[in-house]
Amino acid sequence: MNIRFKRLDHWWRLALLLWLVPVAGLLPLGALWLHQQGLLWLWSTALIVFSASGYAVQFWLKQREQRLLQIAHAPPDPDWPPNAEAAWSIVNDLADQLDPADWPLGDGQSLMALAKLTLERVARHFHPEVKQPLLELTLPHSLLIIERACRDLRDTLTEQVPFSHQLTLGTLTRLYRWKPFAERLFGLYRTGQWAINPGQAVISELWKHLRERGYALAQQDLSRWLLQAFVRQVGRHAIALYSGRLLLLEYVPVQQTTPESARDLTVAKTIQDAAEPLRILVLGRANAGKSSLINALFGQIQAATDLIPKTTQRLMPYRLERDGLEQALIFDTPDAEHLAPNTLRDAAAKADMIFWVSAAHRPDRQSERQILDALRLVQNTRLERHPPPLLVVVTHIDRLRPLREWQPPYDLTATENLKAMSIQAAITALATDLDVPIASVIPVCLADGQVYNVEDTLWVALLNHLDQARRTRLLRCQDDRRRNENWTLLRRQLANAGRFLLALPGRFD
């Protein structure tokens, strides 16, 4: 007999016996009554049929739960940069190849090895040139990722496991100690059942076999899902760590203005808010209508219009704030053809959205295509940042043939209206010439007293791209905060070390 059972008080043994006797006698007495009534085989047949039906339903539920478990997997973070999305694909490939038999959930060392393998895959992606990429992290970041993983586990237990907030370690220990005793009692019950009623025992064993097989399938699926969720959770933290997006100081990057935006807000003669504004850059050739576009977005004159070439000599910020749009800075720029390449690249790198303004009646767009291709080449090499959304604004559509006709609005799908066909042809040609999606090309008219398609189509397109612009802003602010954080921590560490060294002689005295 089990040693723990011997240590129980005899009154506890009597209580257990009184509880087990009625339950143990119920099945043989019921089988005896069925035998006396001649219904035992009928009941046995019904048990087998219903068991098989239950197994079929369980198999269907298993297939459905597999689909639900696949849906339950967390998607990649939309705020990640492109290189992090590639790392997430590596994590997903590892998760899909997992076999629960190779990584038992009850083995802590096995789970640690799986976590290490996940970290190595992610680290190798971000540091392919390093022999041991797993070591390319600082000690504070290592402690921070452990802290966040423990916090996620705590949240999962608190929200998903019933009574977990009342479950103590002592209760778990006691339940674990009682497990062998319960298994021995169940074994004695099965042995007695074979001696008292062999027919009932055969049926019970058959039912037990079917049930255990179904449970084994469900347990295997659950184990695979838990392992995949574990790998994906570790992978998410590893991507945040090795991509440089894990900040040590606790603050949201976009809640504070960057130094560049602080200076631009001062130039725009506005009060500096705590939040970082969206930065919208307006680019294009001379006399394309950049300043007129800004005035149309404001609904009033803010920027000097291009009455003569090169009116705008430098990047000029204006504060734009309207319904549906949080605080934003919109930048009027000089002729893009005469901007220095470094100035153009820096301005585009600090922009969260770009408007490229192109005149519909000017077919010579080779220089525009070259500038956009150069910007796209730089953006594609920066895998740590999302490129800002690009909207192409087609101006001067009122000058398209027929020249004297201007009766908006125009249905661009109408084939009987020559003006509408000319506008549609200009949009298609410009999308081809600049290599942009035709959905990103917005035709407008900015002539005095004839402003058209700005308040509806262009403004709606701007609002539709706000989420993408906010993701670009977040990564831009994270880069700025990470650079500032390094200097802030270094200054703080040097100051604290200096205070310690100055106080050291006094401590010895």
In-domain check, residue 496: no
Q: Looking at the structure, tell me whether residues 220 and 262 fall in a common domain.
A: no
In-domain check, residue 54: yes
Q: Looking at the structure, tell me whether residues 466 and 404 fall in a common domain.
A: yes
Q: Looking at the structure, tell me whether residues 325 and 222 fall in a common domain.
A: no
Q: Looking at the structure, tell me whether residues 281 and 412 fall in a common domain.
A: yes
Structural domain for 79, as ranges: 3-242
Domain boundary at 195, 217, 242, which?
Answer: 242
Q: Which CATH number covers residue 435? A: 3.40.50.300
> Distance between CA atoms of 147 and 261, rounded to whole angstroms?
33
Q: Looking at the structure, tell me whether residues 178 and 113 fall in a common domain.
A: yes
pLDDT at 383: 78
In-domain check, residue 494: no
In-domain check, residue 37: yes
In-domain check, residue 497: no
Q: Looking at the structure, tell me whether residues 276 and 217 fall in a common domain.
A: no
pLDDT one-digit tens code per residue, 45-92: 887 888 788 777 777 766 665 555 454 455 677 778 888 888 998 998
What is the count of structural domains for the chain?
2
Q: Looking at the structure, tell me whether residues 226 and 286 fall in a common domain.
A: no
pLDDT at 4: 47
Tokens of 401: 């043939």
Residue pointed to by tokens 């070259």: 370
Amino acid letter, residue 11: W
In-domain check, residue 505: no
Closest CA to 387 of 472, 479, 473, 280: 472
Secondary structure (3-state) at 112? helix
Q: Looking at the structure, tell me whether residues 312 and 200 fall in a common domain.
A: no
Q: Looking at the structure, tell me whether residues 144 and 291 fall in a common domain.
A: no
| 116-130, 451-465, 495-509: which is most confident | 451-465
Closest CA to 399 of 461, 345, 444, 342: 444
Tell me whether residue 358 is exposed, middle or buried, using C-beta atoms within 10 angstroms of its C-beta: 0 to 12, 13 to 18, 19 or more.
Answer: buried
Peptide bond into 402 cis (omega under 30): yes
> Distance between CA atoms of 413 and 420, rounded to whole angstroms?
8
> What is the spatial order of strands in the sheet that 325-332 belongs to?
316-322, 325-332, 278-284, 353-359, 390-395, 441-443
In-domain check, residue 279: yes
Q: Looking at the structure, tell me whether residues 208 and 270 fall in a common domain.
A: no
Peptide bond into 198 cis (omega under 30): no
In-domain check, residue 323: yes
Q: Looking at the structure, tell me whether residues 174 and 89 fall in a common domain.
A: yes
Q: Looking at the structure, tell me whether residues 181 and 274 fall in a common domain.
A: no
Predicted confidence band of residue 370 (pLDDT cuts 50, 70, 90): very high
The answer to whether 75 and 233 have CB atoms below 8 angstroms apart is no
pLDDT at 310: 42
Query: Mean pLDDT over all residues of the chain?
Result: 78
Residue 225 pLDDT more than 90?
no
